[in-house]
A and B are shown apart, each in its own frame.
Chain A
Amino acid sequence: MSGVPADGFTSLDVAMTPPTPLLRVTGISKHYATPVLSDIALDLHAGEVLALTGENGAGKSTLSKIICGLVQPTTGTLTLTGQPFQPASRSHAERLGVRMVMQELSLIPTLSVAENLLLDKLPHRFGMIDQRALYEQAKRQMAVIGLDDIDPGVLVGSLGIGHQQMVEIARNLVGDCKLLILDEPTAMLTDREIAHLFEQIARLKARGVGIVYISHRLDELQRIADRVAVLRDGRLVDVRPMADVTQDELVQRMVGHVVDEGAQRPRRVAGAVRLEVRGLHCGEQVQAVDLSLHAGEIMGLAGLVGAGRTELLRLIFGADRKDGGELFLDRKAQPVTIDSPMTAIRHGIGLVTEDRKAQGLLLNQSIRVNTTLANLAAVNRRGWLNYAEEHDVTRRLTDILRVKYGSVEQVVGELSGGNQQKVVFARWLHRDCNVLLLDEPTRGVDIGARADLYQELDRLAADGKAMLMVSSDLRELMTVCDRIGVMSAGRLVGVFERGEWTEQILLEACFSGYANLTPTPQSAAASL
């Protein structure tokens, strides 16, 4: 990348950079009870994409919050285009052209795109909103990020999540935006939406906007970033041109030791059928799905967002009402009736939900309360809870999963994403289900915690449990699973054994259901 100065290797040594950097971070530290960031020195140049990566809790979000004025550093200084930069608040930083797009979208779904874009300065005349001016200004703003295809009058809530993300970014590009921080912008996006986002990032670069791009997804970083900065335990361990570093090296830097994610696993011997699904259907979302899940195997479920994977899991679990279909457990001739999560759990089926905050955890309750929730029967005597037993159970399970916490009475909402997910896992370990449905179990989970979860899945498989795991990360499925089913447009279009699949084969299957929608499937696959 020509925009990167030749001293990319030595950019830790900031004094040697000849042009004035857009942003210079010098000696930034942040201490709460313990140091969260220590002595960070970093430059960002105009028109550059700097990837910021590291495990959860490594300090990425603290650093970005300092830059955009949400958090004040304990020590250290910032300069913006050579001027001292001490943002006292987010709005202060925004006035100076520094903006951050958070992971959670802050759009109002019941208002139009235009209204969302101009929320704090709606054009008005005598107190009435000037619709024409509103739409014109909105269109101009949307054009900047290539959102020309959307009607500014459309309600935000009716847009797909990808477009909502683009609207959120467009909202941050008003005025004199010099520096844009994107925090995990692709977590909710399909591959096609990601490609679109990257095109727009390239446009912004060309306009001279400096971009800090925070992500776990290393393959994305390689596509988009000029340089990469790796944080570990609050320290900057490496800054380099992206081209000089492999994904394996990055992972090693992040965790400090080698994680062998791609290792060939022994193929497990599957046992008897635990769960058989016949003709399960529900509207357009899930159509006539047949599958069988064996004891001691992990079956993956791949597909594009909206292919019906989450819906399938929820139907099996009884969380949503099905239109038809039968479930058989343990090769019994009679189908079981599962019409609610309560009956599913009684039959030994558990579901780790996609959205742990909204559907999994009681965020303001303790680790202990969250761990024992699905199996309070085991920790009470005639309705009276046994706190000591709850405490012990929680300690034992969270130790197995290597949850990092101060005390089991700590509120779950204070834990990092990875640790929160481990608590959800602990709950289902406590319940001891024979069939475990997992929906994106590693979303927002750092690599170290992921490895712990994979290890636990292996242990469960060895224990004879059957698992069905949805993931949007194909490589994860290829690493973890014994078989991979692919859903496309509501149908299970194929099931592949370990050894039969390649990334190409799986991807083609993912797109196959949409073949008549996208006339040239090859080009769609290529755009990935």
Chain B
Amino acid sequence: MQSSSQTISVTPINQHASVNRWRSALGGYIGLIATLAAMVVLFGSLSKYFLTADTFITIANDIPALAIMAVGMTYVLVIAGIDLSIGSVMALGAAITAIALQQWQWGVLAAALLGLMVGLGCGLVTGMVSVGWRLPSFIVSLGMLEIARGSAYIATDSRTQYIGSNVEWLSAPIAGGISPAFILALVIVIVAQIVLSRTVFGRYMIGIGTNEEAMRLAGVDPRPVKVVVFALLGVLASLAGLIQTSRLEAADPNMGVGMELQVIAAVVIGGTSLMGGRGSVINTFFGVLIIAVLEAGLAQVGASDPTKRIITGCVIVAAVVLDMIRERRRTRHA
């Protein structure tokens, strides 16, 4: 402190750097917000029904499951891992909850907790196997994808489990048509962002994703951190499954097929690096919104499912290209 007040020349450079930092931080948001706004304007001009409260309420109530899983996936990508099993884990968690409710006559809370525990267990196994034997999480989670899906089929006897209105409240609109699930997702996004940027655990995640060996030699054991991150994603995946169940009033063993790719797409659109060490949960949330707006907008303008997929694919690639160009420009200026 003393020295900083003595060295006068340091201060302007400092301010300059912090202004730059603000600009780049905001720049990260602005790109995504502008994309989102452009899409809203585009669909608004293409369909007269798009710019209505109904559309946005629908979108808000559509995204909680995707958003919650995308939060966990952001963490996993930040530590330079990947988890392909979440769609299946989501289905398994939902299936077990439904079974506990229906067949074992458990209470709602206990059944929901059991579902979350199952998700936790799947995440723990993925994390411990890949960390313990130093295997790529890609492969281990690919295995878990099959294991969890198969288990969901066995548990439900391959039949959709109807649970009635037991957990309907989670997705039922309250104030202004917004569901508790959406609010829950928002809270998770905000807390997760704060944890990532403000806590020791967040610092460890970023450090491990950047240079795991350097972290180890700085006295930080990367293994428990990585296992916790995978376990957390498992819990979040089964929570997403619970939300999906409450919307459909049923647990479908086919729930969430291919969902992992949609989640990864949302995270990557948000600018999180697949190479680890760089990511933002807030940006992930914008990525989720972009995917949801695209989906809703294309549906409203009457695009067919194949067309929707082609356009979504183009958006994913374009987003990554733009992010890369911005990142390169940033590092070149620096």
Report A's interface with B, CB cutoff 8 A.
317, 319, 340-342, 344-346, 351, 353, 358-365, 369, 373-374, 376, 380, 383-385, 387, 392, 395-396, 399, 406-407, 409-411, 414, 427, 431
List the B residue with the shortest CB-CB distance to A349. Answer: B219
Is the pair A361, B214 in contact by a Cβ cutoff of 8 Å?
yes
Q: What are the 9 A-B residue pairs with the smallest beta carbon separation, nearest first?
A: A345-B219, A407-B17, A406-B13, A362-B210, A374-B218, A399-B3, A373-B218, A407-B14, A376-B200
DSSP majority for the B interface?
A: helix
Is the pair A380, B199 in contact by a Cβ cutoff of 8 Å?
yes
Residues of B near A340 (CB, < 8 A) are: 216, 221
Chain A min CB distance to B210 (Å): 4
Chain B min CB distance to A318 (Å): 10
List the A residue with the shortest CB-CB distance to B278. Answer: A364
**Complex Cα distance A317/B214, Å?**
14
Is the pair A384, B217 in contact by a Cβ cutoff of 8 Å?
no
**Complex Cα distance A324/B221, Å?**
23
**Complex Cα distance A359/B334, Å?**
23
Chain A min CB distance to B134 (Å): 14
Q: Is B329 positioned at the interface, with any CB of A under 8 Å from its CB?
A: no
A395 and B1 in contact, given A383-B199, A385-B200, A406-B13 (Cβ under 8 angstroms): yes
Q: Is B103 positioned at the interface, with any CB of A under 8 Å from its CB?
A: no
Contact of A407 among B13, B213, B220, B278 (CB under 8 A): B13
Per-residue 0/1 for B195-216: is the Cβ within 8 Å of any A Cβ (1 yes, 0 no)?
0001111110011001101111
Per-residue 0/1 for B264-279: is the Cβ within 8 Å of any A Cβ (1 yes, 0 no)?
0000000000000110
Is the pair A365, B210 in contact by a Cβ cutoff of 8 Å?
yes
Is the pair B210, A380 in contact by a Cβ cutoff of 8 Å?
no
Residues of B near A383 (CB, < 8 A) are: 199-201
List the A residue with the shortest CB-CB distance to B11. Answer: A407
Ordered by A's residue number, 11 sampled pairs between the chains whose C-beta atoms are within 8 Å are A319-B217, A340-B216, A359-B217, A362-B214, A364-B210, A364-B277, A373-B218, A392-B1, A407-B14, A409-B18, A410-B17
**Complex Cα distance A396/B202, Å?**
24
- New A-B contacts (11) at CB < 8 Å, excluding given A358-B214, A359-B211, A361-B211: A341-B217, A345-B218, A351-B217, A358-B211, A373-B207, A374-B219, A385-B198, A385-B199, A387-B198, A392-B1, A409-B21
Most buried by A among B14, B203, B207, B278: B203
Residues of B near A380 (CB, < 8 A) are: 199-200
Report B's interface with A, CB cutoff 8 A.
1, 3-4, 13-14, 16-18, 21, 198-203, 206-207, 210-211, 213-221, 277-278, 334
Residues of A near B17 (CB, < 8 A) are: 406-407, 409-410
Is the pair A369, B219 in contact by a Cβ cutoff of 8 Å?
no
Is the pair A384, B198 in contact by a Cβ cutoff of 8 Å?
yes
**Complex Cα distance A319/B18, Å?**
37
Residues of A near B14 (CB, < 8 A) are: 406-407
Chain B min CB distance to A355 (Å): 10
Most buried by A among B18, B200, B216: B200
Is the pair B203, A385 in contact by a Cβ cutoff of 8 Å?
yes
Residues of B near A431 (CB, < 8 A) are: 219
Residues of A near B334 (CB, < 8 A) are: 411, 414
Residues of A near B221 (CB, < 8 A) are: 340, 342
Is the pair A358, B213 in contact by a Cβ cutoff of 8 Å?
yes
Residues of A near B218 (CB, < 8 A) are: 341, 345, 373-374, 427
Chain B min CB distance to A390 (Å): 10
Residues of B near A358 (CB, < 8 A) are: 211, 213-214
**Complex Cα distance A427/B215, Å?**
12
Contact of A342 among B207, B214, B220 (CB under 8 A): B220
**Complex Cα distance A167/B13, Å?**
44
Residues of B near A385 (CB, < 8 A) are: 198-200, 202-203
